[in-house]
Amino acid sequence: MKRQLMVFVKQVPDTKNISGEAMTPEGTVNRAALPAIFNPEDLNALELGLQLKEKYNFKVIVATMGPPNASEVLREALYRGADEAILITDRAFAGADTLATSYALSCCVKSIGNVELILCGRQAIDGDTAQVGPQLAEKLNIPQIAYVEEVIDASGKSIKARRAIEGGYEILESPLPTLLTVIDANEPRPASAKGIMKYKKAKTRSEVAKQLRDADYTEAAVLAEKETILRSKNLWIHEWDAAKINADVNRIGLKGSPTKVKKIESVVLKAGKVVSIEPSEAGINGLIRELIEDHTLG
């Protein structure tokens, strides 16, 4: 059997390019103002996974947990060279904090079995917590190497990787399976034209069903037939719900989340009384004199 590695990715709102107000007047996060993108460091994790595929002949399985349209990031991963994609989606997962999320992801890994390496981006730009990677490793009871810059060797039963530490780096060796969280230390490859041509047709069951409904085909047999065709061409994106991955309903979603959000507030930069200084010699001389007099300078 081919060696397997998994890359967990996330579709996130693009918090670095916010258009309009980040908050609605009702005080909730205005996701409409934030375009959905492939979480940047997850692209680094995918890149590392694809390099390992090329070097050690791993099969790369990419998975995400999210709403049905998070399938978009899976197609993006297929365009770049991933072999198989899984969308973990279920209303029961909604409201999950990092503990409930890592539990659900661990159920997914267990459902697949024989995964030697798990790669995650260090953190997602919506929450910036960097918690899901280490928590997933703990849930699977396997070692973790956080902040990986590059893999030095994964030919045998252990992995040697270089990772960032405070003020330097470390080379660690860990027996497989191991989980890596990956930082922005490689150059993610772009989607290949060939990949896009092939995988833009990759679909989840829900997407196929919707397509058929729109065309007024509703018989289950048509859906089943379509599934067989897509599977045979490796264009089938798996869509797994909580039952499929044997997740305990008490440990997922809001119910499985110990942390609750008490309130959220939009950040409003305090509108201070800024003193305008003319960029002339006189203006600047005046400012410097004032700062020397109040002992800020000199």
Least separation in angstroms between CB 94 and another protein: 13
79 vs 147, beta carbon nearer another protein: 147
Residue 263 sits at φ, ψ, to 5 deg, of -160, 160
Least separation in angstroms between CB 13 and another protein: 7
Under a CB-based contact definition with an 8 Å cutoff, are residues 61 and 25 in contact? no
Location of structure tokens 């579709």? 11
The packing angle between helices 98-112 and 132-140, to 10°, is 50
Least separation in angstroms between CB 211 and another protein: 33
Under a CB-based contact definition with an 8 Å cutoff, are residues 234 and 199 in contact? no
85 vs 99, beta carbon nearer another protein: 99
Residues 218-240, buried b or exposed e (16+ Cβ, 10 A)? eeeeebeebeeebeeeebbbbbb
Least separation in angstroms between CB 4 and another protein: 21
Least separation in angstroms between CB 190 and another protein: 19
40 vs 67, beta carbon nearer another protein: 40
173 vs 225, beta carbon nearer another protein: 173
SS (H, E, C) 167-223: CEEEEEEEECCEEEEECCCCCCCCCCHHHHHHHCCCECHHHHHHHHHHCCCCCHHHH
CA distance 66 to 103: 14
Least separation in angstroms between CB 259 and another protein: 4
CA distance 235 to 83: 10
225 vs 293, beta carbon nearer another protein: 293
Least separation in angstroms between CB 238 and another protein: 26
Name the nearest CA neighbour of 81 among 60, 102, 64: 60
CA distance 126 to 22: 12
72 vs 138, beta carbon nearer another protein: 138
* β-bridge pairing 144-153 and 158-165: antiparallel
Least separation in angstroms between CB 126 and another protein: 6
232 vs 276, beta carbon nearer another protein: 276
Tokens of 15: 């918090």
116 vs 126, beta carbon nearer another protein: 126
Tokens of 65: 């947990």
